C-alpha cells in the first residue's frame, strides 16, 4: 500500500457496528487522511444486540443507553473523524465519487465503505396504532414503554428477535403469544436436536405458542387489537410486535451500477461488484462464503466487526487472502444462553452431548459429509463452546470435537 493511499478521503456510510469499527480500525492502522462517518439516525453509534435483550428486560433509562454506545463524540473528535448524523445517504454517483444525502448536500470520497446494514421487513399489517417493529434505538424505547404496561402482547415471528422480545415481555408480566407459520421455527436457528427444548422453555415461562399458523390480519388500535390467524382463531392483545426478518438497506444504491442481489454483492475481498474503490460490509454485504460455496449475507454481530477490521486493513496495508468468516451468533432466552458457531451440513450428521430435559446444559456438534466438524450449538455451556470453536478453526474431525466436548461433561 502506497503512502498516498494513507491520505485518501475515506467515507463510511452507516454509523453501525461495522461502520464504527471501520473508522476506528483505519486510524489504528495508520490512515492519516480525512474520514467521514455518515449515519441516518441522530443517535451516536450504538450496539444493536442489547435492543432486544437487556434494554427490554429492565426499567428503561438513558444511563442504560449510554452503556451500549460504541463510541463517544469526544473519541471520534480525537480520531479526527467527521461525523454526519441525522441525514441518510439517498444516492451515489460512482463516476463522480460522491454520496448524496437527504439534506441536499453531497460528500466526495476517494474510497467508500457501505455499512448501511438491514432494516426490519415491513409489516404487512398496519392498523392506526399498536403494531411495533424492532430495529433502532427509538424502536426499543417505544417497545420497552409498551411492555412496562404489563398488557397482553402478540409476537409475530418465532426467530431469535421475536423470542427474546417474548422473554422480555414475560419479565414485565405481559401475557404473551408467539405466532409463526413454521411448525418448529426454532429449528432453523439451532437445529432440530434442541429446538423443542427451547420451545418448552418458553411454555414453562407462560408463553402461549401458535406455530404452524400464520397471521392474516391485525385490526383495531393500541390497547384493543385483534390478531386473526389463518386457523380462524382470533387473539386479543394490547400490542403486537412483528419480527418477520429483515431486508438489506440498498434502496439508495439503485441505478448506481453496483450489483444488488439481496444485498451489495462483493468479491472475496469485500469489494463491491460494479465500481472501483467501493467496499460493502456487515448486514448489507453479500459475499462468497469459502466454506459454503455460495454467496451469503450474514446478520451476525461478529461478522460485522470482523469485516470492518478486514476492510480497514485492506485500505491501509493491503490484503492477499480473502475474507474468512467467524460464523458466530448468540441469544439470551430467559436465563438460558444459546450460542451457535459454524454451520449445519444437511448431508452430514449431528451429535448431541447432554440433555436439556435432565440437566441445564447441552451441546450439538455438526459434522459435514466428509467427517469434518463444521458447526456447534451450545446451551448454557461456555466451555464446550470455546472448545468447539477452537477445534473448528483448525479443521478437526467431528469425532475429535465430540470426544473433546464429552470430556468436559
According to the model, what pLDDT value does residue 55 have? 85
What SS3 state is found at 386?
Answer: helix
Q: Does pTM surpass 0.85? A: yes
Report the SS3 class of residue 223.
coil
Q: Is 64 helix (H, G, I), strand (E, B) or coil?
A: helix
Q: Please tell me the distance from the alpha carbon of residue 92 to that of residue 101, in angstroms, as a whole number.
A: 9
Distance CA 216, CA 233 (A): 10
Residue 392 near residue 404 (C-beta atoms within 8 A)? no
pLDDT value at residue 346: 86
Phi, psi of 198 (to 5 degrees): -70, -40
What 3-state class would DSSP assign to 242? strand
- In sign, the C-alpha dihedral spanning 23, 25, 28, 34 is negative
pLDDT reported for residue 114: 98
Q: What is the CATH code of the structural domain delimited by 4-119+247-316?
A: 3.50.50.60
pLDDT, position 2: 56
Cell numbers placing 334: 430467559
Residue 385 · residue 392 · CB < 8 Å? no
Which distant-in-sequence residues (6+ apart) come within 8 Å of 358 by Cβ?
A: none
Position 355 scores a pLDDT of 83
Helix (H) or strand (E) holding 373, with range, is strand 373-379
The whole-angstrom distance between residue 267's C-alpha and the CA centroid of its chain comes to: 21
Q: What are the pLDDT tens digits along the chain (409 aa)?
A: 555 678 899 999 999 999 999 999 999 999 999 999 999 999 999 999 888 888 888 766 777 788 899 999 999 999 999 999 999 999 999 999 999 999 999 999 999 999 999 999 999 999 999 999 999 999 999 999 999 999 999 999 999 899 999 999 999 999 999 999 998 888 877 888 888 888 899 999 999 999 999 999 999 999 999 999 999 999 999 999 999 999 999 999 999 999 999 999 999 999 999 999 999 999 999 999 987 888 999 998 999 999 999 999 999 999 999 999 888 989 988 889 999 999 888 899 999 999 887 668 999 999 999 999 999 999 999 999 999 999 999 999 999 999 999 999 8
The DSSP element (H or E) to which 11 belongs, if any, is: strand 10-13
| Crossing angle of the two packed helices 160-171 and 137-147, in degrees rounded to 10 | 40
Secondary structure of residue 133 in the 3-state scheme = coil
367: Cα within 13 Å, side-chain hemisphere: 16
pLDDT computed for residue 94 by the predictor: 97
User: How many Å apart are CA 107 and CA 130, to the nearest integer?
Assistant: 38
**CA-CA distance, 377 to 340, in Å (whole number)?**
4
Residue 233: count other Cβ atoms within 10 Å of its Cβ.
12
Residue 60: per-residue pLDDT: 63
Predicted pLDDT of residue 294: 86
| Those residues with Cβ within 8 angstroms of residue 63's Cβ, 6 or more apart along the chain or in another chain | none
Sheet of 106-108, strands arranged across: 89-93, 98-101, 106-108
Domains 4-119+247-316 and 335-406 fall in the same CATH topology: no
Residue 252 CA to residue 378 CA, distance in Å, equals 39
User: Residue 358's pLDDT is what?
Assistant: 67
Closest alpha carbon to 356 in 199, 197, 196 = 197
Q: What is the per-residue DSSP string for 69-85?
A: BS--HHHHHHHTEEEEE
- For residue 52, what are the contacts with CB-CB under 8 A and spacing of at least 6? 134, 140, 160, 161, 164, 165, 168
- Superfamily of domain 335-406 in the CATH hierarchy: FAD/NAD-linked reductase, C-terminal dimerisation domain (3.30.390.30)
φ and ψ of 21, to 5 deg: -65, -30
Q: Does domain 122-244 have CATH number 3.50.50.60?
A: yes
Which residues are CB-contacts of 99 (< 8 A; sequence separation ≥ 6)? 11, 13, 38, 89, 91, 92, 106, 107, 109, 112
Cβ(32)–Cβ(3) below 8 Å = no
- In the chain, where the domains are located: 4-119+247-316, 122-244, 335-406
DSSP single-letter state for residue 70: S
Amino acid at each position: 500500500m502506497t503512502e498516498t493511499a494513507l491520505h485518501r478521503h475515506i467515507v463510511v456510510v452507516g454509523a453501525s457496528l461495522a461502520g464504527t469499527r471501520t473508522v476506528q480500525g483505519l486510524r489504528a492502522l495508520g490512515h492519516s487522511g480525512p474520514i467521514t462517518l455518515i449515519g441516518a439516525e441522530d443517535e451516536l453509534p450504538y450496539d444493536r444486540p442489547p435492543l432486544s435483550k437487556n434494554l427490554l428486560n429492565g426499567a428503561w433509562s438513558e444511563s442504560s443507553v449510554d452503556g451500549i454506545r460504541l463510541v463517544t463524540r469526544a473519541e471520534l473528535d480525537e480520531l479526527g473523524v467527521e461525523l454526519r448524523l441525522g441525514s441518510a445517504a439517498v444516492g451515489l454517483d460512482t463516476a463522480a465519487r460522491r454520496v448524496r444525502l437527504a439534506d441536499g448536500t453531497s460528500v466526495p470520497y476517494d474510497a467508500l465503505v457501505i455499512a448501511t446494514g438491514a432494516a426490519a421487513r415491513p409489516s404487512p399489517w398496519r392498523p392506526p396504532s399498536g403494531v411495533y417493529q424492532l430495529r433502532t434505538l427509538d424502536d426499543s424505547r417505544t417497545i420497552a414503554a409498551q411492555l412496562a404496561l404489563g398488557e397482553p402482547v402478540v409476537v409475530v415471528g418465532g426467530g431469535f428477535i421475536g423470542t427474546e422480545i417474548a422473554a422480555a415481555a414475560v419479565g414485565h408480566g405481559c401475557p404473551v403469544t408467539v405466532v409463526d407459520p413454521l411448525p418448529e421455527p426454532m429449528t432453523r436457528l439451532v437445529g432440530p436436536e434442541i429446538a423443542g427444548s427451547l420451545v418448552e422453555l418458553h411454555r414453562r415461562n407462560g408463553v402461549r405458542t401458535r406455530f404452524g399458523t400464520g397471521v392474516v390480519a391485525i385490526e383495531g388500535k393500541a390497547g384493543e387489537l385483534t390478531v386473526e390467524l389463518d386457523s380462524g382463531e382470533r387473539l386479543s392483545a394490547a400490542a403486537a410486535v412483528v419480527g418477520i426478518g429483515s431486508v438489506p438497506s440498498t434502496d439508495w444504491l439503485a441505478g448506481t451500477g453496483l450489483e444488488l442481489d439481496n444485498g451489495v454483492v462483493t468479491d472475496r475481498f469485500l469489494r463491491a461488484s460494479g465500481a472501483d474503490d467501493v467496499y460493502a460490509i456487515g448486514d448489507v454485504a453479500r459475499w462468497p462464503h469459502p466454506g459454503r460455496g455460495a454467496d451469503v449475507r450474514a446478520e451476525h454481530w461478529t461478522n460485522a466487526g470482523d469485516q470492518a477490521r478486514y476492510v480497514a486493513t485492506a485500505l491501509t496495508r493491503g490484503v492477499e487472502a480473502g475474507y474468512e468468516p467467524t460464523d458466530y451468533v448468540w441469544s439470551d432466552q430467559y436465563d438460558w444462553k444459546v450460542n451457535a458457531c459454524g454451520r449445519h451440513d444437511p448431508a452430514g450428521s449431528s451429535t448431541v452431548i447432554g440433555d436439556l430435559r435432565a440437566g441445564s446444559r447441552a451441546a450439538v456438534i455438526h459434522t459435514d459429509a466428509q467427517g469434518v466438524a463444521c458447526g456447534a450449538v451450545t446451551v448454557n455451556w461456555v466451555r464446550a463452546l470455546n472448545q468447539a470453536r477452537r477445534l473448528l478453526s483448525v479443521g478437526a474431525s467431528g469425532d475429535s470435537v465430540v470426544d473433546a466436548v464429552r470430556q468436559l461433561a
